[in-house]
Amino acid sequence: MTAAIRRVLPGDADALRQVHEVFEAVRAAETPENAPVPAERYAGALEHPPPNSEIRCYAAEADGKVVGLLWIYLPLKENTHYSETELAVHPAHRRRGVGTALLDHLLQVARDEERTEVIVSHRAQVEGGPVRPDTGARFLEGRGFTVALTEIDRSLRLDTLDPAAETRLWDESIGAADDYELVSWIGRCPEAYVEGLGRIDSQIFAEIPLGDVDLRPRTVDADFVRTREDRAEAQGHILIRTIAVHKATGDVTANTVIYAQAGDEHAGQAITIVDPAHRGHRLGLLAKLANLRQLREHHGHVTTVWTGNADTNANMVAINDLLGFRPVDARVSYKRNLAA
Ligand SMILES: CC(C)(COP(=O)(O)OP(=O)(O)OC[C@H]1O[C@@H](n2cnc3c(N)ncnc32)[C@H](O)[C@@H]1OP(=O)(O)O)[C@@H](O)C(=O)NCCC(=O)NCCS
């Protein structure tokens, strides 16, 4: 069987429905413990990519049906050497060359777009976690990819958070943060904090452990913050955020955000960052506690929060552990360098 590969454009509802079906079939077969991704999210992501970037989807079709796909993220402003991809083949259509054809196509797209860093991720088992096939790893290693970064995905069932333990954690920590004010909101950032939020988010790629992934710092300005919010709104994402403000200077010194969605019991804990000059005041833990509190108060339909951290990120992992997050599996970023 030879699969034809074509680009799926935003608005191609039939192809995007099938793309979702392939992702869901792979999840059900290989990572059933992970949160399902609602079908609308694929259409939303193609239509509204992250600021200064493009999302591309290519489908491999056989007999008129989508049997495999590439989901590619291409930064367009900073990090234009970089690309990041999910590659999946429907479990019923494997070992027939579809994966190889898709990977060849990806490498061609990367060359055409002058990307030297090609990242393809796959899920791996962690100690004590459910079984994960190593097919993706063997496939990628056979094509010259090497491990660049391992991120452990953890989940927190909100009903396992003991309110007394949570209050105790808060009480024990708040004294260290006398110089700071925690500010929480849901939705758009108040105008007063937009620049400060951008400033701290500009530090993300300089501060989070990235292993051998070559992502360089990018500038998050007010426009970026607002575009990110427009995108979240267009996709039905609810942004639940807590920041810490340094009382003396008004600087935003910590930021944490959870993405929820109406009707979805799973939510995603995205970035948490504390400015290096303001570490040691328990701001990471306090901001997360405050944010989980507002999640529970305002979006009680969420039962589970997911988060991923580099396996080397001891500080964040320690906080997540205290909050009751438990490892499920790992997302391994494999890399191939296309530089001559
Ligand atoms: C990895 C994946 C994309 C391979 O798709 P595929 O269509 O089966 O790949 P191909 O038919 O082109 O196989 C290419 C080669 O990879 C290797 N390979 C693929 N599956 C394998 C398996 N189960 N065991 C051992 N080797 C395997 C073989 O060398 C194979 O060549 P062969 O069939 O001639 O022996 C598919 O298994 C998949 O979608 N896995 C889940 C998603 C995932 O892990 N993605 C990230 C990694 S790309």
**Do both 14 and 99 map to the same domain?**
yes
**Do both 168 and 283 map to the same domain?**
yes
- 59-97 residue pLDDT tens: 999 999 999 999 999 999 999 999 999 999 999 999 999
Average pLDDT score, the chain? 96
pLDDT number for residue 161: 80
Ligand 1: residue of 95, 125, 145 to mutate (most ligand atoms within 8 A of CB) is 95
Task: Write the CA distances from 40 to 69, 70, 78, 257, 269, integer angstroms.
Answer: 17, 17, 28, 21, 20
Ligand 1: residue of 66, 139, 140, 145 to mutate (most ligand atoms within 8 A of CB) is 139
Q: Residue 188 C-alpha to ligand 1 middle, in angstroms?
A: 43
| Token representation of residue 34 | 């992970």
Query: Domain of 255?
Result: 156-330
Q: Are strands 304-310 and 266-274 parallel, antiparallel or unpaired?
A: parallel
Answer yes or no: is the C-beta of 142 below 6 A from any ligand 1 atom: yes
Mean pLDDT of 125-132: 96
**Do both 304 and 163 map to the same domain?**
yes
- Whether the predicted pLDDT of 340 surpasses 70: no
The helix (run of H) or strand (run of E) holding residue 225 is helix 222-234
Q: Residue 86 C-alpha to ligand 1 middle, in angstroms?
A: 14
Residue whose CA is at the smallest distance from ligand 1 atom 28:
139
The atom number, within ligand 1, closest to the CA of 68 reads 39
Torsion of CA 301, 23, 51, 302, to 10 degrees: 10
Q: Residue 128 C-alpha to ligand 1 middle, in angstroms?
A: 25
- 271-326 residue pLDDT tens: 999 999 999 999 999 999 999 999 999 999 999 999 999 999 999 999 999 999 99
**Do both 264 and 180 map to the same domain?**
yes
- 325-336 residue pLDDT tens: 999 999 999 999
**Do both 70 and 163 map to the same domain?**
no
- 170-201 residue pLDDT tens: 999 999 999 999 999 999 999 999 999 999 99
Answer yes or no: is the C-beta of 198 below 6 A from any ligand 1 atom: no
Residue whose CA is at the smallest distance from ligand 1 atom 5:
99
The atom number, within ligand 1, closest to the CA of 90 reads 39
- Asked whether residue 220 is domain-assigned, the answer is yes
**Do both 24 and 106 map to the same domain?**
yes
Answer yes or no: is the C-beta of 70 below 6 A from any ligand 1 atom: no
The atom number, within ligand 1, closest to the CA of 123 reads 44
- Whether the predicted pLDDT of 24 surpasses 70: yes
Mean pLDDT of 14-43: 96
- 239-277 residue pLDDT tens: 999 999 999 999 999 999 999 999 999 999 999 999 999
CB of 301 closer than 8 Å to CB of 199: no
- Whether the predicted pLDDT of 2 surpasses 90: no
- Whole-model pTM: value is 0.93
Answer yes or no: is the C-beta of 132 below 6 A from any ligand 1 atom: no
Answer yes or no: is the C-beta of 135 below 6 A from any ligand 1 atom: yes
The atom number, within ligand 1, closest to the CA of 122 reads 46
| Token representation of residue 219 | 């500038």
Q: Residues 82-103, buried b or exposed e (16+ Cβ, 10 A)? A: bbbbbbbbbeebeeeebbebbb
**Do both 225 and 110 map to the same domain?**
no
CB of 27 closer than 8 Å to CB of 42: no
Answer yes or no: is the C-beta of 98 below 6 A from any ligand 1 atom: yes
**Do both 86 and 176 map to the same domain?**
no
**Do both 44 and 164 map to the same domain?**
no
Please state at what angle helix 13-30 crosses helix 40-47, rounded to 10 degrees: 120
Classified as helix, coil or strand, 57 is: strand
- Asked whether residue 307 is domain-assigned, the answer is yes
Classified as helix, coil or strand, 266 is: strand
- Whether the predicted pLDDT of 143 surpasses 70: yes
pLDDT number for residue 339: 87
Answer yes or no: is the C-beta of 324 below 6 A from any ligand 1 atom: no
Q: What is the CATH number of the domain that holds 225?
A: 3.40.630.30
**Do both 15 and 83 map to the same domain?**
yes
Mean pLDDT of 6-27: 97
Mean pLDDT of 2-14: 94
pLDDT number for residue 1: 59
Cβ neighbors of 155 (< 8 A, separation 6 or more) are 35, 304, 305, 306, 307, 325, 326, 328
CB of 106 closer than 8 Å to CB of 120: yes
Answer yes or no: is the C-beta of 140 below 6 A from any ligand 1 atom: yes
The helix (run of H) or strand (run of E) holding residue 150 is strand 146-157
| Token representation of residue 247 | 């009382």
Q: What is the per-residue DSSP string for 229-242?
A: HHHHHHTTEEEEEE
> How many distinct structural domains can be found in the chain?
2
**Do both 69 and 16 map to the same domain?**
yes
CA gap 62, 42 in Å, rounded: 21
